[in-house]
Structure 1
Amino acid sequence: MRTVNGQVYGFYATFLCIRLPPAPACVMLPELNGEPVMPHTFMGTLVDPVQKTSFGARLILSEHGTIAAVEHEPNPAPGYILPGFVDAHVHIESSMLTPAAFARAAVVHGTLAAVADPHEIANVLGERGVALMLELARQTPFVFGFGVPSCVPATPFETAGAELGPEVVARLLDLPGITHLAEMMNVPGVLGHDPSVQAKLDAAHRRGLPIDGHAPGLGGDAMRAYAAAGITTDHESLTFEEAREKLKAGIKLQVRYGSAARRFEPFLPLLPRFPELCMLCSDDKHPDDLLRDHINFIAATAFRQGLALQTILQAACVNPVRHYRLPLGLLQPGDSADFQIVDDLRTFQPREVWLHGQCVARGGVSLLPAGEARVENNFAALPITADALRIPAQPGRRARVIGVRDGELITAHLLETPSISQGAVAADPERDLAKLVVCNRYAPAAPAIGLVKGFGLRRGALATSVAHDSHHIIAIGASDNALAAAINEVVHHRGGLAVADSNRKILTSLPL
């Protein structure tokens, strides 16, 4: 943890943290310092997501941070009293924030709980990375339901910093704060009854824990077999029809709006058709995006498109709380006093947000502390030269190229005739062909080099060690000199992000 000019910076080993304003010193949170909760009374239009009713209400909180009573109020004050939102699937590491700092940013948007998959830090630090996330999450009263990563490494074709085998997964499933087995990406392993995959599924089944899925494009008999293996959710559907087919098979839909995957509107009509089977999630939310909005953006979009408020709250609040058994209140007498007060349902930007009977955000300002961070790392990459990025040319032969589209996760397989310079394959900005480089962060090794189209890079290079799933250094550039400079800047700081120009000058850098 660092404080510079009154601003708090938190970071973990692999991920950088954005700057947030310091929390007010007067905040009292029972989970952090044992201070008593004062009773409060609120008036407004209470939207009960369990009883499916809305009415003028007087909401009375107890000194224990619970809802003591809900009384009818014929003359309610302006504003809607709503339950807090739940991000039903998120990798906190993508926000480059610790759990406490993530919570601090999220509560401003009415989010009071997150179902988190620490897949990224597990790929770098293994079992101790998962334990570290659980430990850091205890610094905040925000409700986290952590999953145990099921696929570390993500594929047998990657080299990760660790491996979570069946024995480790079983051990982690018994830790306090674990609510599920996180997304099972190894679809062939599930369908082929791979012994290691099956052992992980069995471990979750024995403990009665739900299993998250990850199956883009899967349909038909294969999808039904995937569901029969006990997979309960999926956030990767590519089309409306695919999502509907999965819902009919009993796989719950997590409608996703994040930083990388932004196309969620086509799936909104499924919420009223399958009200008990839909949730909302971000999957990956970069820090600048998290400061702007969160689950409230999906909710507001759905409301503006004509979906009923109760349908939206069922997906945004009730379904994830029930599915993952989260200790989050739903505005029922005796529940934890967890709610938000919203004036405009077209934006769902809360006026106040309350958690465990205490105000955690007011007027767009978070009242939660940022917490502290422990620094751990797993980084052994060495500097490279521009010559190491040279690909000998084979004149007349086409090359395989990765095609990308902004806002989409699925890439295309392209064949292009590469440009040649001085006997080597070269990037060609005029044709939107850039070089793509992966450098092993865990051991010295020759870089993997390819071509990518659709990135729109005209000059210079970018490099980052925050890179799903194994978090090696990934760089994209318009010249070998710029690529080497950006990569070496990340190596110098043992992780982070860097941008270089064609003259090898570092334009900006975010070191760990």
Structure 2
Amino acid sequence: MASSFTRTANVVDLFANTIYPAIIHVAEGRISRLEPTGTVPNPALPYALPGFVDAHVHVESSLLAPSEFARLAVVHGTVATVSDPHEIGNVLGVQGVEYMLKNGRQVPFKFCFGAPSCVPATPFETAGAIISATDIEQLFQRYPEIGYLAEMMNWPGVLNRDADVMEKIRLAQQYNRPVDGHAPGLTGADAVRYIQAGISTDHECFMAGEALDKLQAGMKVLIREGSAARNFEALIDLLPEHYENMMFCSDDKHPDTLVLGHINQLVQRAVARGQEVLKVLRVACRNPVEHYRLPVGLLREGDAADFIVVDNLQDFNVQQTYLNGELVAENGRTLISAVPVEVVNNFIAHPVQAQDFQLSAPTPQPTLRVMECFDGQLITARHDVPARIENGLVVPDVAQDVLKLTVVNRYAAASPAVAFIRGFGLQRGALASSVGHDSHNITAIGCDDESLARAVQLVMEAKGGLAAVGPDGQELLLPLPVAGLMSDQDGYAVAAAYTAVDALAKELGSTLQAPFMTLSFMALLVIPSLKLSDKGLFDGEAFRFVEAVM
């Protein structure tokens, strides 16, 4: 049973837009009374405010089960997430979504999960499952925690009013669930048509002009700052005028950065830039609760006692986090007990060898279509580059940062798809990962075929994980036995293990802030320009396969 207590603090009221000292009375997990003790903030008191909400996150990208994600997140004042289980949905279908619900229920944290709208994400890759419109309706009917239709990545299908796509949107409207969007770069009349279909949000804006276009068309825009995509700097100056229609999100957050901070960091950065604190807190706390109709308290009488206590409204150092009146974190320490994490998976392991990744030169002087990745972005660019040939084979040109990229089907034995990429800066060895958006086949990058094969084989043998392999026998593997996406271990231990494999990737030469996170998006076909699936190199602008070697 929830406890009853009082807490004295400067209360941040996001409805009256005031801050005043008060005694907060909590009874049976709810705020029974707010008793003002003055009219202006008392500098001797800490500040109480509604908890932070991550308005769009794939929990799986933390490499942690929901219960472990929650244990880390509450330390930073996060009390709820709007979580798209799209990743595990692509591996295990509805069973994967239900796994997330079941695990998340075991901790006092407020997960709002979505019904994945695009499983598989495209017909141009091999996924482990299909989630149909019928499946989505059953999820809406069975589970109140399924609070929205998750990001509609098939924006061409929306624009063309594809029957299956529109049926999923219709079902969301029938069951009174908002529909999340995903339309990077879409502006003008196409953006308006996309929004008019019933899409309410977008977290993929990477330029202020694009975000403004969507805001003016009636869409809510999320400012994203995660481990791979970081759009805070590009979008934050829209907040003063559009704060009523903006939210903060991480989208994808690796465990090493989750240990350090979460939405609290975005709040602190925004205020440090001179943004008005009450507007920033509305974006971080109130807007997601209202848009998604979350069962999260907002520090009003009668609300669930979901609130946080911070030292001041500049640093936002979280002293305490409460959920339903229960103290779940205090002074940097989680108070949520760990629960056993069940292992589920869908992984067909098969051996690979170096020759599996060889490419014969089709002509004496071929040209490569080379994908270029960018630190902090999901988009890529295309470059036509002269191929380096050795013994009739097209090989990486490490000196020019042209490395070999491969995607290996993890659901069936099949020949790997091979292409070339620049931007990683790897000087030797290889990296491999079973986290490969969106179908989560094995994605790997390497400077030579032997290292590439070894890294892929390590992931195969573990039936999921992140691997870094050096040419001199260096090897590190972070096993991910839960769907090949998540660990079954303690979140802090996973963060430490991730830090170690990330450090080896950088020791091997990678210049990226989060090389494994960036690698995981090189198979994400719905983000332009060039990407690689298990079926081949894909042009995301022309929406068709193209040759890697010309």
What TM-score, normalized by structure 2, do the two folds share? 0.85
Report the alpha carbon displacement of residue 59 of structure 1 after superposing the two structures with TM. Answer: 1.0
Matches of 1:410 and 1:274, distance apart in 2: 26
Question: Which of residues 85, 93, 98 is equivalent to 2:52?
Answer: 85
The answer on 1:252 being equivalent to 2:247 is: no
Gaps of 5+ in 2: 482-550
- Aligned partner of 1:263 in structure 2 is 231
Partner deviation per Cα, 1:68-114 (whole Å, 9 max, x = no partner)? 11111138442111110000000000001111110110001100000
- Aligned partner of 1:136 in structure 2 is 103
Partner deviation per Cα, 1:100-137 (whole Å, 9 max, x = no partner)? 11011000110000000000000000111011111111
Question: Which of residues 460, 470, 481 is equivalent to 2:429?
Answer: 460
- Aligned partner of 1:190 in structure 2 is 158
Q: Are 1:148 and 1:182, in contact at CA under 8 Å, matched by a contact in 2?
A: yes
How many residue pairs match? The answer is 475
- Name the SS of the counterpart of 2:244 in structure 1: coil
Bigger shift: 208-217 or 75-84?
75-84
Partner deviation per Cα, 1:226-267 (whole Å, 9 max, x = no partner)? 000000000001210110110011110111010001231221
The answer on 1:100 being equivalent to 2:67 is: yes
Q: Are 1:216 and 1:237, in contact at CA under 8 Å, matched by a contact in 2?
A: yes
Report the alpha carbon displacement of residue 506 of structure 1 after superposing the two structures with TM. Answer: 4.9
Report the alpha carbon displacement of residue 372 of structure 1 after superposing the two structures with TM. Answer: 2.0
Matches of 1:281 and 1:371, distance apart in 2: 26
Matches of 1:448 and 1:483, distance apart in 2: 13
- Aligned partner of 2:543 in structure 1 is none
Matches of 2:146 and 2:214, distance apart in 1: 26
Question: Counterpart of 2:354 in structure 1: which amino acid?
Answer: A
- Aligned partner of 1:502 in structure 2 is 471
Matches of 2:327 and 2:236, distance apart in 1: 31
Equivalent positions of 1:63-78 (< 5 A) are: 64-74=28-38, 76=42, 77-78=44-45
Q: Are 1:50 and 1:330, in contact at CA under 8 Å, matched by a contact in 2?
A: no
Bigger shift: 221-230 or 164-173?
164-173
- Aligned partner of 1:21 in structure 2 is none
Q: Are 1:259 and 1:286, in contact at CA under 8 Å, matched by a contact in 2?
A: yes
Partner deviation per Cα, 1:337-363 (whole Å, 9 max, x = no partner)? 111111133332201111111111111
The answer on 1:59 being equivalent to 2:28 is: no
Matches of 1:134 and 1:60, distance apart in 2: 31
- Aligned partner of 1:27 in structure 2 is none
Q: Are 2:206 and 2:235, in contact at CA under 8 Å, matched by a contact in 1?
A: no
Equivalent positions of 1:144-223 (< 5 A) are: 144-174=111-141, 175-223=143-191
- Root-mean-square deviation (Å): 1.1
Matches of 1:274 and 1:497, distance apart in 2: 40
The answer on 1:442 being equivalent to 2:411 is: yes
The answer on 1:115 being equivalent to 2:82 is: yes
- Name the SS of the counterpart of 1:320 in structure 2: helix
Q: Are 2:72 and 2:334, in contact at CA under 8 Å, matched by a contact in 1?
A: yes
Question: Counterpart of 2:419 in structure 1: which amino acid?
Answer: G
- Aligned partner of 1:6 in structure 2 is none
What TM-score, normalized by structure 1, do the two folds share? 0.91
- Name the SS of the counterpart of 2:200 in structure 1: strand
Bigger shift: 289-298 or 415-424?
415-424
- Aligned partner of 1:413 in structure 2 is 382
Matches of 1:93 and 1:288, distance apart in 2: 14
- Name the SS of the counterpart of 1:153 in structure 2: coil
- Name the SS of the counterpart of 2:329 in structure 1: strand
Q: Are 1:498 and 1:506, in contact at CA under 8 Å, matched by a contact in 2?
A: no
Matches of 1:119 and 1:282, distance apart in 2: 15
Report the alpha carbon displacement of residue 419 of structure 1 after superposing the two structures with TM. Answer: 1.2
Gaps of 5+ in 1: 1-35
Q: Percent identity?
A: 48
Matches of 1:464 and 1:368, distance apart in 2: 30
Question: Counterpart of 2:335 in structure 1: which amino acid?
Answer: L
- Aligned partner of 1:23 in structure 2 is none
Matches of 1:116 and 1:370, distance apart in 2: 20
- Name the SS of the counterpart of 1:377 in structure 2: coil
Question: Counterpart of 1:399 in structure 2: which amino acid?
Answer: L
- Aligned partner of 1:9 in structure 2 is none
